[in-house]
Amino acid sequence: MKIAFTFRNLESSDAMKNYATEKIGRLQKYMQAPMDAVVTFSLERHLHCVDVSIHAGSESYLGREDQENMYSSIDLVVDKIKNQLRHNKDTHTHKRRAASVPAE
């Protein structure tokens, strides 16, 4: 798992990097291929924005969240990506089950 961090209009912080690494690392268990992530932290007016782009094999997941607090932005964007992963897994499972049902 490789994670690249970018900070825009904001000082680099090890605490934010560690927090994001911990949260995004939990998503690896939902993926079969090793993942590469790009996390962009930015400050736009009074909002703290987090953009996350995850690539695992041929699949890509994107998320963006704007909040008053950077840590809540990280939490919410990870939840968005987790929902995308769950939806993708359910779609694959549903297709596989539908194909294996015998026709009468």
pTM: 0.81
pLDDT at 95 over 70: no
Q: Please choose, from the candidates 29, 30, 28, 66, the residue with its C-alpha nearest in 3D space to the C-alpha of residue 50.
A: 66
Task: Indicate the CATH number for domain 2-100.
Answer: 3.30.160.100
pLDDT digits (tens, 9 = 90+) for 26-79: 988 888 888 899 999 999 989 999 999 999 888 899 999 999 999 999 999 999
Burial 17-40 (b: 16+ CB within 10 A, else e): eeebeebbeebeebbeeebebebe
* Residue extents of the structural domains in the chain: 2-100
